[in-house]
């Protein structure tokens, strides 16, 4: 079976939690990406962050020894600008609330950034920027109330900061939304515009979405009909995976980006559940997941995911039992996760 980097032409990589955390590269990530690129896989860095230009993001990545050029970076600001350009006439005035990067993205699409409602903008676009003031939000509210299209770069309710979790653009969007009764169109993950922008810019024919969050990266891939890989270096944890509904289930589960460089291990179904590596996973008639075996802990998680997501239930269950089986709960997965924790998997 070929390595993953040979099966897909482009990796659409999230950044925070996948490539770096808190401004520092995740151990092994730069080397894995360097190797994947040398082997012919195109890398694109796809971010909901609209506050930095692609050039600034590429420079940050290069400082971490991650192979990147400005053309490899796709931001929610660019996706929002294309969304606006598709709906507005050329050179239309757009009231921009956010960073210089967002204004540049709007201008690059042939639209005219403005700052006040008095300039009669046809749209308002809002992205995160540390200097957003009440006056800008008030102007945006006036324009939206007057009929301007309302677009948000992304709807992330929070963002990580040096002192902890802070309000993100999704929270700030609620100021205008609440004041006007108008919900914004969203360009960023998990909505389709950012994935579409990424495919257009990279020319991807068979992309692999790589992320650390089920509710943004993986759901975005699901909505786009693309394959995805969750890495466990960021936000989503093993318990989240096992309890995930179909729209949040990745095609592949990996501990780190090194998984791009190897064939993906097969998970086999048999009469006693699912096996991967030296592990066997089964959903028992009681509803609980059971895991036995030894080997790489990530293989145990892969087997567990198949057992948790299997719609037919435990071996020997009747059709009626399968149809009425209750969804998994946190209690149902606790014992199996304890086995993985003992095997060294980060919970």
- What gap in Å lies between CA 4 and CA 229, rounded to an integer? 10
- Taking CA 248 as the corner, what is the angle to CA 244 and CA 252, rounded to the nearest 5 degrees? 95
What is d(CA 5, CA 94) in angstroms, rounded to the nearest whole number?
40
Whole-number pLDDT of residue 320: 35
> What is the reported pLDDT for 312?
53
**Homologous superfamily assigned to 4-48+191-261:** HAD superfamily/HAD-like (3.40.50.1000)
From the options 1.10.10.10, 3.40.50.1000, 3.40.250.10, 3.40.190.80, give the CATH code of 77-186.
3.40.50.1000
Does the structure show a pLDDT above 80 at 323? no
**159: pLDDT confidence band, cut at 50, 70 and 90?**
confident
φ, ψ (nearest 5 deg) of residue 119: -85, 5
Q: 59: burial class by Cβ within 10 Å (0-12, 13-18, 19+)?
A: middle
Tell the residue number behind the tokens 């920027």, with chain if given.
129
| pLDDT of 315 over the 70 cut | no
pLDDT digits (tens, 9 = 90+) for 51-76: 999 999 999 999 999 999 999 999 99
What's the whole-number mean pLDDT along residues 6-29? Answer: 94
User: 4-48+191-261 with 77-186: one CATH topology?
Assistant: yes
Confidence category of residue 326, pLDDT binned at 50, 70, 90 = confident
Question: Between helices 192-202 and 76-87, what is the axis angle to 10°?
Answer: 100
The strands making up 207-211's β-sheet, listed across from edge to edge, are 73-75, 42-47, 10-13, 207-211, 227-231, 252-254
Does residue 10 sit in helix, strand or coil?
strand
pLDDT-derived band at 318 (thresholds 50, 70, 90) equals very low
Contact status, residue 271 vs residue 242, Cβ threshold 8 Å:
no
Domain boundaries, the chain: 4-48+191-261, 77-186, 268-342
Asked whether residue 115 carries a pLDDT value surpassing 60, the answer given is yes
For residue 226, give the nearest of 7, 3, 2, 6 by alpha carbon.
Answer: 7
Question: Phi/psi of residue 202, each to 5°?
Answer: -95, -15
- Taking the C-alpha atoms of residue 42 and residue 342, their distance in angstroms, rounded to an integer, is 37
Point out the least confidently predicted range of 77-81, 250-254, 315-319. Answer: 315-319
- By the 10 Å C-beta count (0-12 exposed, 13-18 middle, 19+ buried), 346 is classed as exposed
Dihedrals phi, psi of 30, to nearest 5 degrees = -60, -45
Q: What are phi and psi of 228, to 5 degrees?
A: -145, 160
Catalytic residue IDs: 14, 16
For 198-227, what is the mean pLDDT?
Answer: 96
277-312 confidence digits (pLDDT tens): 999 999 988 889 999 999 999 999 999 999 999 865
User: Among all chains, which residue has been given the structure tokens 């944890």?
Assistant: 237
pLDDT cut 70: percent of the chain above it: 95
Banded model confidence at residue 316, pLDDT cuts 50, 70, 90: very low
Nearest alpha carbon to residue 182 among 254, 110, 124, 240: 124
Model confidence pTM above 0.85: yes
């Amino acid at each position: 079976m070929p390595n993953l980097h040979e099966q897909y032409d482009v990796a659409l990589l999230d950044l925070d939690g996948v490539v770096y955390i808190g401004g520092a590269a995740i151990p092994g990530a730069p080397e894995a990406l360097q190797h994947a690129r040398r082997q012919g896989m195109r890398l694109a860095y796809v971010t909901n962050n609209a506050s930095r230009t692609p050039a600034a993001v590429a420079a940050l990545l290069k400082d971490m020894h991650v192979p990147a050029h400005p053309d490899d970076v796709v931001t929610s600001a660019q996706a929002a600008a294309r969304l606006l350009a598709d709906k507005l006439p050329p050179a239309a005035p757009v009231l921009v609330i956010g960073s210089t990067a967002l204004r540049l993205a709007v201008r690059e699409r042939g639209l005219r950034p403005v700052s006040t409602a008095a300039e009669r903008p046809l749209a308002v676009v809002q992205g995160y920027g540390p200097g957003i003031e009440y006056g800008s939000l008030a102007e945006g509210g006036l324009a939206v109330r007057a009929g301007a299209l309302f677009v948000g770069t992304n709807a992330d309710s929070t963002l990580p900061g040096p002192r902890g979790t802070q309000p993100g653009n999704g929270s700030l969007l609620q100021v205008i939304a609440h004041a006007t009764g108008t919900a914004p169109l969203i360009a960023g993950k998990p909505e389709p515009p950012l994935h579409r922008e990424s495919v257009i810019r990279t020319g991807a024919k068979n992309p692999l979405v790589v992320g650390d969050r089920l509710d943004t990266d993986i759901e975005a891939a699901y909505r786009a009909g693309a394959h995805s890989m969750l890495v466990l270096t960021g936000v989503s944890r093993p318990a989240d995976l096992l309890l995930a509904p179909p729209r949040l289930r990745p095609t592949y589960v990996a501990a780190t980006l090194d998984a791009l460089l190897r064939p993906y291990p097969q998970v086999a179904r048999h009469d006693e559940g699912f096996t991967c590596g030296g592990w066997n996973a089964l959903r028992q008639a009681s509803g609980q997941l059971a895991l036995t075996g030894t080997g790489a802990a990530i293989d145990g998680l892969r087997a567990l995911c198949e057992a948790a997501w299997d719609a037919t239930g435990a071996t020997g269950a009747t059709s009626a039992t399968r149809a009425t089986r209750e969804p998994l709960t946190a209690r149902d997965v606790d014992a199996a996760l304890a086995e993985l924790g003992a095997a060294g998997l980060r919970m």
